[in-house]
Amino acid sequence: MNGGIWVIPEDAINQYFAAHANSNKAKNPTLKLLGDNKMVVTFDSSLGRVGLTCEIKQFVHNQAESYAEVYIRKKEVANKPILTWMLKFISIGAIADLYGNPLKDVKQFDARFDGNTLKVNFRPLVEKSLLSSNIGNKVEISRITTREGALELHTNMKATDLLGIIMGI
């Protein structure tokens, strides 16, 4: 943590995905973080290896709510160029309506699709983490940014603030 920015390495997120974000319809998810709030999410599906190029549009975490909105810019299926071309004309929300939400079985968060926007409510995860403790209740994340290989959480807390809370000063 530096100046209120908590940096989460891409590897840590991928380890979490491997342990908690697999479902029957989306297996072996991986995340590649790019700059400018962009990322590529890949996973195995019945169609093959799917790649989604996404952009984080909104991120909110405070005592009342915890969610992210991610816009899916590009959908690709490895080695299937015609299917990839067809996906340009179909929203991810329509696909989820037709074939079911691939993230509905994930217990760590609730996710729903609206057009090409994915809204993830991660309050269930927060309630089981340090963020639901007395210390965590003091943390507000005002925004999120990405850089190559890392996710940056912009918080209202600096390392000295956190140390003061822990030490009771």
pLDDT on residue 88: 94
169 band by pLDDT with thresholds 50, 70 and 90: very low
Quickly state the pLDDT bin for 110 (edges 50, 70, 90): confident
pLDDT in tens, 66-92: 899 999 999 999 999 999 999 999 999
Query: Which is more confidently placed, 33 or 155?
Result: 33
Residue 3 backbone zone (phi > 0: left; psi -120 to 50: alpha; other: beta): left
Whether the CA torsion 146, 147, 152, 158 is positive or negative: it is negative
Share of the chain above pLDDT 90, in %: 47
Residue numbers of the domain that contains 12: 5-167
Count up the domains in the chain and report the number: 1
Confidence of residue 159 (pLDDT cuts 50, 70, 90): very low
Give residue 121's identity as a one-letter amino acid code: N
The mean pLDDT of the chain is 84
